[in-house]
Structure 1
Amino acid sequence: MTEQQLQGQTIAFLATRGVEQVELTSPWEAVKAAGGQPVLVSPESGSITAMNGDWEHGDSFPVDHQAGSVTSAQFDGLVMPGGTLNADALRVDEDVQSFVRGFFEEHKPVAAI
């Protein structure tokens, strides 16, 4: 990715507790390096704790917006990092489903790990 590819674009990162840390931090840094503004969206407020694998707790990350308080129209793209606990919690949340659906309806890029 070149330095200016995402200049002026805001990219939502959708995650909750149990997100795989490296799958959150690596693309987050890539978005920043490309000039974009990464924003953490979660069904939870406050902060989320990542995981290193399925059993080891990782770092905590501050949540910028709760999924029910924002829409896809506010972002230029979406990244959905992996993690077993993360995916299980996100897939059943109605606010998350609505948020993600909006990106597809608006034909915006979605990256899922």
Structure 2
Amino acid sequence: MSAINTSHILIVATDGFEQSELFDPRYAMIAAGAKVTLASPEAKPIQGMKHDEKGDTITPDITLDQVKIADYDGLILPGGVANPDTLRMNKMAVDIVAAFVESGKPVAAICHGPWLLVEADVVEGRTVTSWPSLRTDLENAGADVVDREVVVDGNLITSRKPEDIPAFVAAFKQAVSEADSLVA
């Protein structure tokens, strides 16, 4: 029998991540007993942001080239403006997102994080939400965009902003638990 406490979660981020959107889900998953791995393009510490001011840094556990999709039960994509904007120009990051979505494993993107879903070409025909400035990009990529604190469409979980983190984390935990029970 599998549960969240036996899950292994991947977070992909780089400089410019919104601090609460990485740290809060990370801590919530660790508190639930999951193993959490942070991957980034480089092994150096990455800079968090508290809106438009510098926040804390965190050192990635691995680099993107070390990610093996089969090792993880779910993926979290924090927002922040610079983080997903930089990552969507990184082929490895985009390929990781596409592979996770294709695998059927839960993929959770918050705020500006859905930019990576657009770049990975995985939102066509899906219902999603995001920070307001991304909604046209999502619509142009074929998504049905709504304004709700959390949207679950199959294995995609999306939220709009830091205030949505509790609902975002709850939906992701439920998706990972349900996915684990299907494999058990």
The two structures have a TM-score, normalised by structure 2, of 0.57
Give the aligned length: 109
Out of 36, 39, 42, the residue aligned to residue 37 of structure 2 is 39
Is the aligned partner of 1:109 residue 2:106? yes
Deviation of residue 34 (structure 1)? Answer: 1.3
Out of 69, 82, 88, the residue aligned to residue 66 of structure 2 is 69
Aligned to 2:88: 91
Q: Secondary structure at the match of 2:93?
A: helix
What code does the residue aligned with 1:98 have? D
Q: Secondary structure at the match of 1:30?
A: helix
* Whole-angstrom distance in 2 between the partners of 1:98 and 1:71: 11
Structure whose residues are more often strand by fraction? 1
Q: Secondary structure at the match of 1:7?
A: helix
* Bigger Rg, structure 1 or 2: 2
| Segment drifting more, 87-96 vs 39-48 | 39-48
What code does the residue aligned with 2:32 have? A
Structure whose residues are more often helix by fraction? 2
RMSD after superposition: 1.3
Q: Point out where structure 1 has 5 or more consecutive residues left out of the alignment.
A: none
* Whole-angstrom distance in 2 between the partners of 1:46 and 1:9: 26
Runs of 4+ in structure 1 over 2 Å off: none
Q: Secondary structure at the match of 1:26?
A: helix
Mapped contact 1:5–1:35 kept (Cα < 8 A): no
What code does the residue aligned with 1:53 have? H
What code does the residue aligned with 2:104 have? H
Aligned to 1:20: 18
Deviation of residue 5 (structure 1)? Answer: 4.3
Deviation of residue 71 (structure 1)? Answer: 2.2
| Highest RCO, 1 vs 2 (Cα 8 Å, sep ≥ 6) | 1
* Whole-angstrom distance in 1 between the partners of 2:101 and 2:21: 22
